[in-house]
A and B are shown apart, each in its own frame.
Chain A
Amino acid sequence: GENVEQHPSTLSVQEGDSAVIKCTYSDSASNYFPWYKQELGKRPQLIIDIRSNVGEKKDQRIAVTLNKTAKHFSLHITETQPEDSAVYFCAAVRTYKYIFGTGTRLKVLA
């Protein structure tokens, strides 16, 4: 069946450094790729998304890149801050069907 592989499962960075999380998907019909952030004990919240007709999207310190040919997409966080510490989930979406990655626990060390 379809799946999404997400790496790394844990990531520790120093405050101010950049963080990159990568996802690879199998369903070539996926055309929407959201990223969710889940802080400890809280609900997942959308932080950025990209559609298949776009290669890159940026929102302040967060950017997402998509390579449809290779079927992978990445989340880039620059100038990391302690409040960026959370679990991040990617998803590959085709119509209603969200296939989530297994999550990356990001720790930003002060």
Chain B
Amino acid sequence: DVKVTQSSRYLVKRTGEKVFLECVQDMDHENMFWYRQDPGLGLRLIYFSYDVKMKEKGDIPEGYSVSREKKERFSLILESASTNQTSMYLCASSLVLADNEQFFGPGTRLTVL
């Protein structure tokens, strides 16, 4: 059974703070993804990674960066948090990059004040 875990369920930060969201998967998946989920907008891809130290921008990468130093761990970084980054952040992983099921983590609800 695939397990994708995220470091926090709820997080409250102040504008301008540097924020780290961490995601860990235990199924040796090559591919990991970060989405944000907003009401009425569905899930939108921020970044993904297809291998250690490899990353690609998704649809909304502005204001975010990522780090993948180990296969099982994928971090999302908000360099200087802003109120418009208040959202639910979902991490996902998949065994195969293309046209394949993604397994989601439980999400981190981030509030930026």
Q: Which A residues form the contact surface with B (CB < 8 A)? A: 1, 4, 6, 9, 31-32, 34, 36, 42-46, 49, 51, 89, 93-98, 100-103
A89 to B41, CA, bound (A): 11
B40 touches A102 (CB 8 A): yes
Which residues of A are found within 8 Å of B104, using beta-carbon distances? 36, 43-45
Interface size class on chain B is: 20 to 34
Which residues, 93 to 109 on B, are CB-close (under 8 Å) to A? Answer: 97-102, 104-107
CB distance from A33 to the nearest CB of B (A): 10
Which residues of A are found within 8 Å of B99, using beta-carbon distances? 31-32, 51, 93-95
Which residues of A are found within 8 Å of B90, using beta-carbon distances? 43-44
Does B43 have its Cβ within 8 Å of any Cβ on chain A? yes
B42 touches A43 (CB 8 A): no
Which residues of B are found within 8 Å of A44, using beta-carbon distances? 43, 90, 104
B106 touches A43 (CB 8 A): yes
For the A-B complex with A32-B99, A98-B45 known, give 20 more contacts whose Cβ atoms are closer than 8 Å. A9-B40, A31-B99, A32-B100, A34-B101, A36-B104, A43-B4, A43-B105, A44-B90, A44-B104, A45-B104, A46-B101, A49-B101, A94-B99, A95-B97, A96-B56, A96-B97, A97-B45, A98-B102, A102-B41, A102-B42
A103 to B43, CA, bound (A): 9
